[in-house]
Amino acid sequence: MGCHVAPQAVAIGTGQRPVVVALAGNPNVGKSSLFNALTGLRQRVGNWPGKTVERREGSLDLGGRTALLVDLPGSYSLESYTLEESVTRQFLVEERPDVIVDVVDALHLERNLYLTSQLLELGIPTFVALTMGDMARALGVEIDVDALARRLGVPVVPVVAATGEGLDVLRRTLESAVAGGVAAPSPPVYPDSTLEALVASLLREIPCDHPVAGRRLALGFIQQDPGTIRDLEAVLPEAERERLRRAVEAAAPDGPVRVADARYAWVAAVVREALRERVAGRPLRGTPARLADRVDLVVTHPVVGPPLTAATLAAGIWSAFQIAAPLQEWLDGLFAWLSVSVAGALTGRVAPWTLALLTDGVLAGVATVALFAPLIAAFFLFLGLLEDSGYFARAAFVLDRLLSRFGLHGKAGIGLFIGYGCNVPAVMAARTASSRTARLVSVLVSPLVICSARLVVIGFMAGVFFPGSGAAWVMAGLYAVGLVLVLSVAWLLSRTLLRGDEEPFLIELPPYRMPRLRNVAVYAWQQTAHFLQRAVTVIAPMTAVVWAIAYFPSGSVESSFAAWLGHLLEPLGRPLGFDWRMIVSLFPGFLAKEASLPTLAVLYAAGADQGLGAALRAALTVPQALSYLVFYTFYTPCLATAVTIRQEIGSTRWTLVSVGYSLLLAGGLAWVAHWGALQLWAA
């Protein structure tokens, strides 16, 4: 038994399997820009199996061979303590890509090379793509690329994805490796003789048939890395692992710290040899940084920062609606014309219910999905601009100060703010949160944010029953209740059901830069296409199902299955002041929140001469109207939001929890509102 891994030339992507190239690196090193530049629009987006972390893949032509480029989550190390680190490590260790392209930021060599030291231990052919060189030169910093390559033992290619500088060289380097094979890199030898002696002794004990290089296993075992412990469980009996653990503790009781210190000592030696500073360039050095520091003093100020962030996000939401509105109107008109055309072509040729199913069911469902697309694209254009400019991290930092005491991270706060425009992109934006529990909390409270679609019904009902300034007070009160609910439910979830991997909010503030419009456009397109791809298969059929419930068996909603269900549920609605018509009007609201208003018009004003407002005032009391407003505002997320929740968290159980708890919460609040209004009006 024992293990020793020596560098050797290996063939890349042999057989029918395509070449797999993994793109690894720290967050904010330009990895996404490089991925976009190399793959163009030949990309697809999804989630890693069983995970809520986004997975991006794209195709890359390497000398006539098609390679699969996999963009791994940004990670600072391969210790599997965070979800991103776990996903990155699992892919590199278990799926063993043919090549690793390690993206390293020239401005932050010391921090980036810590991950590089671990990648070099995997025994996988590795290349370094050195980014941010243009920014480093502007600050008077030069990297000796040859010295860096010599110390690392792998090719180093400077690249600037925004301008295309170095991309051809990187492609040719990969093509050469694919065509002729390449030697796996030699793992770093660390300047700690005690540690190296301990590693050597462990290499004699660890079986060689494991896919991870033995040195990496030995160092991971000394660090007590959870992923390495799981790897060794498959090849070493428990008694052997325990014996080795005691030996490691005796030789290096501070194992995790010792390994980290040894890595950083090695990194420091590499940086000393590779880093050059131009004395003549020193006047340039710090000028952009000082300007950025002055801006950050304002942007991240504890008093000025929050309202500035709120104003920025509000302006972005308003802009997204302005951008999306013309296209939504055009699509709405297109589907209206299509519905009329289908009706004209098929009237008298098919049964009435078939025609109604096609126009009011299937086409309406497709239209629902299509009308969301421009809004989602506009929202993610805005998010992409925030992220690519460097402002996203600042906004998250500011919001975290306010939200952390309620169990929400700053990144989640940005998504929740977007929810005031539309809950769908708010749920999708939760993927930026730093842990699974943070994502879940953010996703579960997102539907409590009052989206713009609900304003159609809220504004109309408040104006009818609380005219004048009363309507404004009611609407302001609902928004205040919504904010309190978001914070309260998040606080409760983070301390009960989703208590667990709480961690301090750590975020790197990247340098400010001009957004790369191509990257932002690709990002928005990917998110929109991902939503459409999954949602169209669920939302459109579900719309047809709900339509059928409201149509059959008589062709009239008043005597449909929905009406029968409304009468059945009427006893449950009675404590809230609901009659069966109020209950039935909520069903279409599950498809699209604003759809409840035309349903109320059908149920209360069909055949009547007066308008809907007068009909509702004649049929409902003020306590009933207030109860309905409260319930409608906070009951289940719409179908598009529910589908997106299922996509993002990958769990039907949690999706049902989201729908169920909001329904119960809305019922409880509506009961309180109805009871309180009865007491007030009785007095």
Beta-carbon contacts of residue 679 (< 8 Å; ≥ 6 apart):
none
**pLDDT above 80 for 642:** yes
Of residues 167 and 543, the one with the higher pLDDT is 167
Burial class (CB in 10 A: 0-12, 13-18, 19+), 268: middle
pLDDT value, residue 211: 45
Domains by residue range for the chain, with CATH = 9-183 (3.40.50.300), 193-275 (1.10.287.1770)
| Region 8-25 average pLDDT | 70
**pLDDT above 80 for 291:** no
Q: Calculate what percentage of the chain has a pLDDT beyond 70.
A: 87
Q: What is the token pair recorded at 118?
A: 């671990």
Are 68 and 57 in contact by the 8 Å Cβ rule? The answer is yes
Which of 127, 158, 120, 126 shows the shortest CA–CA distance to 274?
158
Which of 322, 301, 316, 306 shows the shortest CA–CA distance to 374?
322
Containing H/E element for 47? strand 43-47
**pLDDT above 80 for 372:** no
pLDDT value, residue 112: 92
Q: What is the pLDDT of residues 466-500, one digit of tens each?
A: 887 788 788 888 888 988 999 999 889 888 887 75
pLDDT value, residue 395: 82
Which of 141, 151, 74 shows the shortest CA–CA distance to 107?
141
Q: 3-class DSSP state for residue 41? A: coil
**pLDDT above 50 for 623:** yes
**pLDDT above 90 for 103:** yes
Which of 87, 94, 27 shows the shortest CA–CA distance to 51?
87
Q: What is the pLDDT of residues 381-396, one digit of tens each?
A: 888 888 888 887 788 7
pLDDT value, residue 674: 93
User: What backbone torsions phi and psi does residue 679 show, to the nearest 5 degrees?
Assistant: -65, -40
DSSP state of 10: E
**pLDDT above 60 for 121:** yes
Q: Give the count of alpha carbons within 13 A of 195, CB side only.
A: 25
DSSP state of 313: H
**pLDDT above 80 for 324:** yes
pLDDT band for position 41 (cuts 50, 70, 90)? low
pLDDT value, residue 281: 43
Cα(626)–Cα(461) distance, integer angstroms? 9
Which of 535, 557, 539 shows the shortest CA–CA distance to 356?
557
Q: What is the pLDDT of residues 237-287, one digit of tens each?
A: 888 878 888 888 888 788 788 888 999 999 999 999 988 765 444 444 444
Are 444 and 654 in contact by the 8 Å Cβ rule? The answer is yes
pLDDT value, residue 116: 94
**Other CB atoms closer than 10 Å to residue 548's CB: what's the count?**
17
| Region 94-117 average pLDDT | 91
pLDDT band for position 434 (cuts 50, 70, 90)? low
DSSP state of 26: -
Are 357 and 544 in contact by the 8 Å Cβ rule? The answer is yes
Cα(126)–Cα(128) distance, integer angstroms? 7
Q: State the amino acid at position 390 in one-letter form.
A: G
Cα(219)–Cα(202) distance, integer angstroms? 9
Q: State the amino acid at position 263 in one-letter form.
A: R
DSSP state of 512: P
pLDDT value, residue 48: 56
**Other CB atoms closer than 10 Å to residue 352's CB: what's the count?**
11
pLDDT value, residue 348: 81
Cα(3)–Cα(5) distance, integer angstroms? 7
Average pLDDT over the chain, rounded to an integer = 81
pLDDT band for position 209 (cuts 50, 70, 90)? low
3-state SS track over 140-197: CEEECHHHHHHHHCCCEEECECCCCECHHHHHHHHHHHHHHCEECCCCCCCCCHHHHH
**pLDDT above 90 for 202:** no
pLDDT value, residue 99: 92
Cα torsion angle, 78, 83, 89, 93, sign? positive
pLDDT value, residue 5: 47
Q: What is the token pair recorded at 590?
A: 């599950």
**pLDDT above 90 for 634:** yes
Q: 3-class DSSP state for residue 101? A: strand
Cα(672)–Cα(666) distance, integer angstroms? 10
Q: What is the token pair recorded at 506?
A: 């750590």
Cα(680)–Cα(673) distance, integer angstroms? 10
**Considering only 28-42, 403-417, 455-469, which range has the smallest mean pLDDT?**
403-417
Cα torsion angle, 339, 340, 344, 345, sign? negative
**pLDDT above 80 for 60:** yes
Beta-carbon contacts of residue 372 (< 8 Å; ≥ 6 apart):
422, 424, 531, 535, 640
Containing H/E element for 336? helix 305-346
- Angle between helices 652-682 and 436-445 in degrees, nearest 10: 40
**pTM of the prediction?**
0.65
Cα(285)–Cα(295) distance, integer angstroms? 17
DSSP-H helix ranges across 43-144: 83-90, 109-119, 133-138
Ordered DSSP codes for 197-265:
HHHHHHHTTS-TTSSS-HHHHHHHHHHT-HHHHHHHHTTS-HHHHHHHHHHHHHH-TTHHHHHHHHHHH
| Region 82-104 average pLDDT | 87
Are 451 and 637 in contact by the 8 Å Cβ rule? The answer is no
Q: State the amino acid at position 477 in one-letter form.
A: G
**Considering only 292-301, 633-642, 662-671, which range has the smallest mean pLDDT?**
292-301
Which of 583, 584, 585, 588 shows the shortest CA–CA distance to 543?
588
Ordered DSSP codes for 529-568:
HHHHHHHTTTHHHHHHHHHHHHHTTTSSGGGSHHHHHHHH
| Region 633-637 average pLDDT | 91
**pLDDT above 50 for 521:** yes
Q: What is the token pair recorded at 160?
A: 């600037």
